[in-house]
Amino acid sequence: MRLLLAFLLLLITGCDLIPKTQLEQVQDRGVLRVLTRNSATTYYEGPYGPAGVEYDLAEGFARFLGVKLQITVPDNLSEILQDIQSGAADMAAAGLTATDERRQQFNFSSSYQRITPQLVYRIGTPAPQNLGDLHGSFEVVADSSHAERLRALQEEYPDMSFTENRELENEQLLGLVWEEVIDYTVADSNEVAFSRRFYPELRVAFDISKPQPLAWAFPPGDDHSLVDKANEYLSKQRENGHLDRLLEKYYGYVADFDYVGTRRYMQHIEQRLPRYQSWFEKAGKDTGIDWRLLAAIGYQESHWNPKAVSPTGVRGLMMLTQDTMKQLGIDKSRHDPQASIEGGARYIRRVKKRLPKRIKNPDRTWMALAAYNIGFGHLEDARILTQDDGADPDKWIEVKKYLPRLSQKKWYKKTRHGYARGQEPVRYVENIRSYYDILVWFTEREHPPRPPSPALTVESPAL
């Protein structure tokens, strides 16, 4: 009888003796624990909340699983790799290159982006032709794929030496190259594209390998349940075009680097902006718009020249018409810089309010900027063309594809407001986004925000 009772008890509770898969653990917990890095190419706190390619993808994956997203930012890359290897988190979405050496230590998802590791130096340093030409200090992030690649290349270049930095990330090392503290570093091509806007004297000497895949890392072992689900999710993102749109959202506007324009802008930040900054700050406070965005608009419009005049009759620092100033209740001269800034801030706020409430930031801001440039009616025409073609009229990344059609008779004859130079607002918005990013970097460099704690955790809203 005792044996029979023991057998029945085993049948009833036997399910508890079978360990749960990683996927089941995440679903039971209701939380996907993700490790990442603070950087422009992974995760950061933007003006409209958490942002970054890795953040957006990870949040989408959490929603795909029906759980909350929990983001944790360890101190450095080494900690991320250690925590994933020990199973302290479910996955790492941190811009990790899936190298052969790492594949022996972790499970990886399929790739969602390809990057190229590049050797970077500063103008003034002799441009090296290969790794044997390096003469000076050379630092890379410790335990990075770059260090792994360089160790492999030391057989070909035995005189090449480098230091693995355990304190700084790629973006900080790029800054040290620009400041001439070190002579060389290696960074991924997407990071270089972002950073050259802030450090315009940086140059790429050469690639140190062919393009490499970025992927999510998971704890090692035979349990591939969560990896398989991640691959299913990433496959859907590729098939429905969301992945391409996401990469365009974060990288599209930084593709064209203008050294002369960037250097001139940074000089104007130091030389011209101080005259008008207090007025931008006041206008930002009055309208609830980041003063640095208002300043970026002003720079795009006039290069912060209060006497600027365009052939179309708009004038002043924010390039407004006389009728617009009157409608906004401002009776001062458009050449009065304070009045112009006040008018520009009120106008952009008015345009944002006219957009449908369902359009969320940052799309709402980018569309308002486009309307500031081309007119609200033409923006609405482009949104209608977008919708008629089956795309989303509430997403800037979609609408900006259709704005150029307003200059083509085939398309503008179907619209209410007719012809417009539709390519201009696209370039206009992309320029302002870059000016804004640089100004944010510039101001936070002067007054840096508090650094995140070693284990900064952010939870997504409840589903």
Interhelix angle for 22-29 vs 53-65, to 10°? Answer: 90
**Which residue of the set 139, 171, 191, 301 is catalytic?**
301
Phi-psi region of 213 (alpha: psi -120 to 50; beta: other; left: phi over 0): beta
The answer to whether the beta carbons of residues 314 and 320 sit under 8 Å apart is yes
Q: How far apart are CA 43 and CA 51, in angstroms?
A: 6
Place of tokens 């790629």: 170
Q: How far apart are CA 370 and CA 423, in angstroms?
A: 10
Phi, psi for residue 411 in degrees, rounded to 5: -105, -45
* Residues in CB range of 22: below 8 A, 6 or more apart: 90, 218, 219, 223, 225, 226
Q: Is 301 tagged catalytic? A: yes
Q: How far apart are CA 317 and CA 298, in angstroms?
A: 6
Q: Which residues pair with 275 in a beta bridge?
A: none
Q: How far apart are CA 434 and CA 299, in angstroms?
A: 11
Name the nearest CA neighbour of 273 among 255, 297, 254, 245. Answer: 297
DSSP for 13-63?
Answer: HGGGGSPPPHHHHHHHHTEEEEE--BBTTTBEEETTEEESHHHHHHHHHHH
Q: How far apart are CA 383 and CA 366, in angstroms?
A: 13
The answer to whether the beta carbons of residues 189 and 163 sit under 8 Å apart is no
The answer to whether the beta carbons of residues 229 and 65 sit under 8 Å apart is yes
Name the nearest CA neighbour of 112 among 224, 215, 230. Answer: 215
Q: How far apart are CA 34 and CA 69, in angstroms?
A: 7
DSSP for 130-159?
Answer: SGGG--S-BEEETTSHHHHHHHHHTTT-TT
Q: How far apart are CA 403 and CA 184, in angstroms?
A: 42
Continuous segment of H or E residues that includes residue 345? helix 337-354
**What is the set of active-site residues?**
301
